[in-house]
């Protein structure tokens, strides 16, 4: 994650192009915002906190972002992108739908448990960071819809189709649950919820008995 | 000249003068309504006491007579909205004499109706409270924990009752909150009515199975279109 990868730029001549330095400054500001938000919460973070963490000037901040909200949005995108990559890696090459859904659920929970500060930025701080972030949050959750929709193919032919809102409600339920656990400081224990989450995700598509069986098996891996 | 509807309703109904208590209650109602509207429009962070008093048509002194700061007004608004909605939902659940799925259907029906009828207050409770500090978040959480147990008796109808996940009720309640808050954020509360049967089906399915949940949803759908 950027917060670990980014040290201060070495002093003196460094041979980076102007674009590279500019890109680097942007990344440092994003990492700076993430540390400041982890330390005191989005609402209390000031521009000075961000530039101090990033070790850049106020002018550099405004060259990259119009506002604190815009900088938060960029940080949010980095975290969403990272989770998306983790999910992508987890399901790559996995053919069977139930195993894909389980792998994705496991990847998300492991990430949140391993990175409690970023989990908080993603799920809790984002809620108070203005309407643009709110819209982006909904869209990011919606991006997981196709992964679940594949589960519709598992239902026996001739069975009545699931309600159109099934994926939205399943994802929303999980997001709400994870949000509440992270908000109450229980991010580190999220992996314990793997069987519950797996059963919840699989049930509409496979029926509750099969979902419960696979959830128990997933917990043993 | 035609009286403005908002103004007309604020006039005392009879010739008697408004008592001091009634006037104070009316001020608080106006302040809280204005707070809810502004927060729904621009978010909690952006809302200021200045915009609240302007919208409520009261002076600063009146605001501070009732609330020490913006957060106090917001928390009072949350308490009032949560109490009203939860009491109505619990009442609908209790008064429905049919089997448990009917009770849940009635309770969710009232919840959806209430959100559609009071979108600004619902926005405060379901969307903004989560992100407006620990006190507000605790109220959101308490409301969810108050209503989620209405689902618990459904476990007795399930052959796997002992094995249902312990988190099931709060997870389902979170899903309902998500559906409602997404419609509120998108300004699409008009769609809530149409989403009610599917949401009822979603909530009942883990307890009574797919067929029974779909049957209940179908009944609600035909009642809505009648």
Give the range of the structural domain holding residue A127, as residue numbers without chain letter: 70-220
* Residues ≥6 apart with Cβ < 8 Å to A85: none
B43 found inside a domain? no
Number of domains in chain B: 1
Q: Does the pLDDT of residue B64 top 90, yes or no?
A: yes
Q: What is the pLDDT of residues B106-163, one digit of tens each?
A: 999 999 999 999 999 999 999 999 888 889 999 999 999 999 999 999 999 988 766 8
**A interface toward B at CB cutoff 8 Å?**
43, 124-125, 127-131, 134-135, 138, 160, 163-166, 168-177, 179-180, 183, 193, 195-196, 199-200, 203-204, 207-209, 212
- As a whole number, the mean pLDDT across chain A is 89
Q: What is the pLDDT of residues A70-88, one digit of tens each?
A: 999 999 999 999 999 999 9
Q: Does the pLDDT of residue B9 top 70, yes or no?
A: no
Cα A139 to Cα A156, A170, B126, B226: the distances in Å are 30, 15, 18, 35
- As a whole number, the mean pLDDT across chain B is 90
Handedness of CA B145, B146, B148, B153 (dihedral sign): positive
B91 found inside a domain? yes
Cα gap A48→A61, rounded to integer Å: 10
Please report the pLDDT score of residue B7 as a whole number. Answer: 47
Q: What is the pLDDT of residues A113-163, one digit of tens each?
A: 999 999 999 999 998 888 889 899 999 999 999 999 999 999 888 888 899
Residues of chain B in contact with residue A128, where contact means CB-CB under 8 angstroms, are 44-45, 130-132
Q: What is the pLDDT of residues B31-53, one digit of tens each?
A: 999 999 999 888 888 899 999 99
Residue A200: which of B144, B165, B178 has the nearest Cβ?
B165
CA A173 to chain CA centroid, nearest Å: 15
CA B80 to chain CA centroid, nearest Å: 10
Please report the pLDDT score of residue B12 as a whole number. Answer: 52
Number of domains in chain A: 2
Please report the pLDDT score of residue A13 as a whole number. Answer: 57
**Which residue, of A42, A65, A88, is where some domain finishes?**
A65
Please report the pLDDT score of residue B3 as a whole number. Answer: 45
Please report the pLDDT score of residue A15 as a whole number. Answer: 66
Query: Which stretch of A30-34, A89-93, A125-129, A162-166 has the lowest confidence by average pLDDT?
Result: A125-129
CATH number of the domain where residue B108 is located:
1.10.357.10
Give the range of the structural domain holding residue B83, as residue numbers without chain letter: 73-225
Answer yes or no: do B179 and A128 touch at CB < 8 A. no
């Amino acid at each position: 994650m950027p917060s670990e990868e980014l040290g201060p730029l070495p002093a003196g001549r460094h041979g980076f192009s102007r674009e590279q330095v500019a890109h680097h400054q942007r990344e440092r500001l994003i990492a700076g915002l993430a540390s400041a938000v982890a330390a005191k919460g989005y609402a209390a973070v000031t521009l000075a906190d961000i530039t101090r963490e990033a070790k850049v000037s106020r002018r550099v901040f405004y060259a990259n972002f119009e506002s604190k909200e815009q900088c938060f949005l960029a940080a949010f995108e980095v975290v969403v992108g990272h989770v998306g990559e983790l999910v992508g890696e987890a399901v790559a090459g996995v053919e069977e739908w139930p195993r894909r859904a389980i792998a994705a659920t496991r990847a998300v929970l492991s990430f949140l448990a391993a990175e409690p500060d970023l989990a908080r930025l993603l799920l809790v701080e984002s809620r108070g960071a203005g309407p643009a972030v709110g819209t982006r949050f909904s869209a990011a959750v919606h991006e997981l819809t196709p992964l679940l929709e594949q589960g519709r193919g598992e239902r026996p032919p001739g069975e009545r189709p699931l309600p159109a809102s099934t994926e939205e409600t399943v994802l929303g339920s999980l997001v709400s649950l994870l949000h509440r656990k992270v908000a109450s400081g229980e991010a580190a224990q999220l992996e314990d919820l793997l069987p519950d989450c797996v059963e919840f995700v699989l049930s509409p598509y496979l029926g509750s008995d099969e979902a419960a069986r696979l959830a128990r098996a997933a917990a043993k891996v | 000249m035609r009286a403005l509807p908002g103004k007309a309703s604020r006039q005392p109904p009879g010739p008697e003068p408004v008592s001091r208590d009634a006037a104070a209650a009316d001020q608080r109602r106006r302040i809280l309504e204005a707070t809810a509207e502004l927060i729904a429009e621009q978010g909690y962070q952006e809302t200021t006491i200045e915009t609240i008093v302007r919208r409520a048509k009261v002076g600063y002194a009146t605001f501070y007579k009732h609330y020490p700061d913006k957060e106090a007004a917001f928390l009072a608004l949350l308490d009032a909205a949560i109490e009203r909605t939860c009491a109505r939902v619990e009442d609908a659940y209790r008064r429905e004499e049919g089997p448990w799925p009917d009770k849940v259907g009635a309770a969710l029906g009232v919840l959806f109706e209430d959100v559609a009828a009071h979108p600004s207050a619902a926005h405060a409770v379901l969307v903004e409270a989560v992100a407006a500090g620990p006190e507000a978040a605790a109220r959101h959480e308490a409301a969810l924990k108050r209503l989620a147990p209405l689902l618990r008796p459904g476990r007795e109808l399930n052959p796997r009752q002992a094995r249902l996940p312990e988190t099931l009720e709060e997870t389902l309640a979170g899903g309902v909150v998500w559906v409602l808050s997404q419609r509120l954020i998108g300004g699409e509360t008009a769609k809530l009515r149409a989403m009610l049967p599917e949401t009822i089906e979603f909530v009942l399915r883990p307890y009574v199975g797919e067929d029974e949940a779909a049957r209940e949803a179908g009944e609600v759908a035909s009642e809505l279109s009648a």
